[in-house]
Chains A and B, each alone.
Chain A
Amino acid sequence: MSLAQLQRDFRAWLVDGSDDAARSFGAGAAAGLTVYQNNYRAQLVGCIEQSFPRVHAWLGDDAFLRAAITHIDSHPPGAWTLDVYARNFDETLTALFPDNPDLHELAWIENALSEAFVAPDAEPVSIDALSAIDWDSAQLRLSPSLMSRAATTNADSIWTALQEEREPPDGEMLAEPAGLIVWRRGFTSCLKKVDALEYEALVHLQSDGSFVALCDMLVDRLGEADAIAKAGALLAGWLGNELIAGVDHIASHRHQSN
């Protein structure tokens, strides 16, 4: 048997428990094959458990283990790093629990916090560095760790309670649409619920960093009088939270050192 065929048979044994594949290793192979399959499955379950401790607590042991096994059976790992294996576990949860948006958002939070933890480093811009900026041409660069999604439930409150080992609230739909943002400050991953306008502003800024375009969007939503004050307040909040990683200038392509 060629090495490639042997490795394909091993894959078939690990992923599907194929009897045909097991037979190809000979009569005395059963004990060893069992060890390798146990190692394979235990490692993947452990990876999902480590990646989603709050989802685990929220779902309970039995439901979580069933979801993990479903995921392992339908998503054999492919990447060289185990760190990314659990990243699409939220798809399995959505398929298994389609009517639980709180669970979907809780899984997104855990995933995003893990990704932010090892996202590229970036020095935050300080408020002092903004004094000489030409705002007409300013292009804001957000932290490379920033991730966001629309929020429809109180998943952030559930996550926070579980994180603090408090009794979590029941899952509820939000009265108003909102957004969830996750990013890293220093070495700490952070979670924040923002109102719908701030969420829209951040999404807008991620696709078009122009400060002028951001102000135009805010004028469109709030009118001219309130938009300027809102832009200032948002900017101050983002700077305070270390969400701004740089300011470029469209016209001259000068880079603001910070």
Chain B
Amino acid sequence: MPASNPLFSGYGVGLRKEHYRDFLETAVPVDFVEVISENFMVDGGQPRHILRRVRERHPVALHGVSMSIGSADGLDRDYLRRLKALVDETEPLFVSDHLSWSRIGRFNSHDLLPVPYTEEALDIVCANISMAQDALGRTMLFENPSSYLAVGAAAMTEWEFIAAMCRRTGCELLLDVNNVFVSATNHGFDALAFLDGIPAEHVRQIHLAGHSQGVDLLIDTHDREVCSDVWTLYARAIARLGPVATMIERDGDIPALASLLDELSIARRLGAIDAHARARVAA
């Protein structure tokens, strides 16, 4: 089992091409950036060059969307080989993906599809995580996805599944607070029970994002600001977890970087309030 990732409690944003120039030409006040791994798992050209230059200025977390850790037929070795090459070059702060699946056989949905919370799925997910961590030579973080459908006859809750997964593989967690809110609303579970149920000591990073109201369900669109309910849940999360690397994740309707930094300042303030409260309790 690879060693744990170091504790890191800074604030960052997801690097998107709309902000490349800001990051290359100005001193952006963030403690780290996160990039989508697959966008840089290419042979050459500008993407790799930009990543190298950004890496000279900021710690970088690699966040994948295509590992398909829940695939019943295992992991794609070509994918792992390319990711390993990127990890070796980037020396990232964290390497993460999602607790979901996208591939079965020769089909790849390119979506984060839900895993059933069954013993069989737990065995498969844990075997895949161990294979990925062995291939990469490091402990990965897995993110709780938003879901719109409860699949299979669940033998446990999502948080019980996650806790067992961490126990068995040593993997760590990327807690997406917005996804907790979206899934809790869609499936009618208690978001605080989720926060209480996951192993706090395994959480290394937090995502904050916006969502939309669909016809029947909340949709994890990442195309708007973090809403007040999610900020409230974030405050509860850090009260439970302590300081954790936190970032704003925006994938659609990308605003000016200053707008994302304004949102990030809310996270900083909530983090400062939590630190103050902890100091008072300690005193």
Q: How many residues of A contact B (CB 8 A)?
A: 41
Question: Contacts A25-B149, A77-B108 given: A10-B113 contact, CB under 8 Å?
Answer: yes
Distance in angstroms between the alpha carbons of A184 and B43 in the assembled complex: 13
Contact of A40 among B49, B105, B109, B215 (CB under 8 A): B109
CB distance from B63 to the nearest CB of A (A): 15
Judge if A27 is at the interface, Cβ distance under 8 Å.
Answer: no
Please state if A35 and B217 are interface contacts (CB–CB under 8 Å). Answer: yes
| A83 CB contacts on chain B under 8 angstroms | 38, 42
B147 to chain A: closest residue by CB: A32
Task: Please state if B111 and A7 are interface contacts (CB–CB under 8 Å).
Answer: no
What residues on B are CB-neighbors of A117 within 8 Å? 45-46
For A2, list chain B residues within 8 Å (CB): 72, 120
Assess the A36–B66 pair: CB atoms within 8 A.
no
> Given A2-B72, A31-B215 in contact, is the A119-B148 Cβ separation under 8 Å?
no
B108's contact among A3, A79, A119, A144, by CB below 8 Å, is which? A79
What is the 8 Å Cβ interface bit string for chain A, positions 82-126, against chain B (1 contact, 0 not)? Answer: 110100000000000000000000000000000011111110000
Whether A80 pairs with B78 at a CB distance below 8 angstroms is yes
B136 CB-CB contact with A under 8 Å: no
The 8 Å CB contact of B107, one of A4, A6, A76, is A76
A29: contacting residue among B78, B101, B124, B149, CB under 8 A: B149
Q: Is B118 in contact with chain A by the CB < 8 A criterion?
A: yes
Contacts A6-B116, A43-B111 given; does A80 touch B38 at CB 8 Å = yes
| Complex interface: chain B residues within 8 A of A15 (CB) | 107
Chain A hits for B120, CB < 8 A: 2-3
> Is residue B47 within 8 Å, beta carbon to beta carbon, of the partner chain?
yes
Give A117 Cβ to nearest chain B Cβ, in Å: 5
Q: In the complex, which residues 124-160 of chain B have their Cβ closer than 8 Å to any Cβ of chain A? A: 124, 147-153
Convert A12-50 into 0s and 1s, putting 1 for each residue whose CB lies closer than 8 angstroms to a CB of B: 001100000000010001011101100110011000000
Task: Take A31-B216, A31-B217, A119-B45 as given contacts and tell me if A39 and B111 are in contact as well, using a CB distance cutoff of 8 Å.
Answer: yes
Task: Report the separation of the CA atoms of residues A86 and B275 in the bound assembly, to the nearest whole angstrom.
Answer: 49
Docked-complex contact B45 and A80, CB < 8 angstroms: no
Give bound CA distance, A11 to B41, whole Å. Answer: 26
Query: Are the CB atoms of B216 and A25 closer together than 8 Å?
Result: no
**CB closest chain-B residue, reference A31:** B216
Assess whether B189 is interfacial by the CB under 8 Å rule. Answer: no
Query: What is the interface residue range for chain B against chain A?
Result: 35 or more
Cα distance, A139 to B103, chains bound together (Å): 43
Q: Does B29 contact A (CB under 8 A)?
A: no
- Taken together as a complex, chains A and B put the C-alpha atoms of A40 and B49 apart, in Å, by 31
Say whether, besides A80-B66, A83-B42, A121-B44, A36 and B148 are in contact (CB < 8 Å). Answer: yes
Which residues of chain A have C-beta atoms less than 8 A from B110's C-beta?
40, 43-44, 77, 82, 85
Instruction: Determine the chain A residues whose CB is within 8 A of the CB of B76 once the complex forms.
Output: 80
B1 adjacent to chain A (CB < 8 Å): no
The verdict on A3 contacting B124 (CB below 8 Å), with A40-B111, A80-B103, A81-B38 known, is yes
- Chain A window 190-227, contacts with chain B (Cβ cutoff 8 Å), 1 for yes, 0 for no: 00000000000000000000000000000000000000
Contact B109 A11 (CB under 8 A): yes
Measured between beta carbons, the chain A residues less than 8 angstroms from B103 are 80
Min C-beta distance of A106 to chain B, whole Å: 22
Rounded to whole angstroms, the CA-CA distance of A83 and B47 in the bound complex is 13
Bound Cα distance from A40 to B216, whole angstroms:
18
B104 near A10 (CB under 8 angstroms)? yes
B113 touches A36 (CB 8 A): yes
Given the complex, which residues of B lie within 8 Å of A32, measured CB to CB? Answer: 147-150, 186, 217
Beta-carbon contact of B113 and A187 below 8 Å:
no
In the complex, chain A residues whose CB is within 8 Å of the CB of B48: 121
Q: With the chains together, A83 CA to B39 CA distance in Å?
A: 9
Whether A118 lies near B107 (C-beta < 8 A) is no
A121 contacts across to B, CB distance below 8 A: 43-45, 48
Q: Which residues of A contact B124 (CB under 8 A)?
A: 3
CB pairs A–B below 8 angstroms (10 shown): A4-B73, A25-B151, A31-B216, A32-B147, A32-B148, A36-B148, A44-B110, A80-B66, A85-B110, A117-B45
Seen from chain A, the residues whose Cβ lies within 8 Å of a Cβ on chain B are: 1-4, 6-8, 10-11, 14-15, 25, 29, 31-33, 35-36, 39-40, 43-44, 76-83, 85, 116-122, 144, 184, 187
B residues near A (Cβ < 8 Å) are 38, 41-49, 66, 68, 70-73, 76, 78-79, 101, 103-111, 113, 115-116, 118, 120-121, 124, 147-153, 186, 214-217, 219
Known contacts A36-B149, A40-B109; 15 additional CB pairs below 8 A are A3-B70, A3-B116, A3-B152, A4-B72, A8-B104, A11-B104, A25-B149, A79-B108, A81-B38, A81-B41, A116-B45, A117-B46, A118-B45, A121-B45, A184-B45
- Lowest 3 CB-CB distances: which A-B pairs, in order? A32-B149, A121-B44, A118-B42
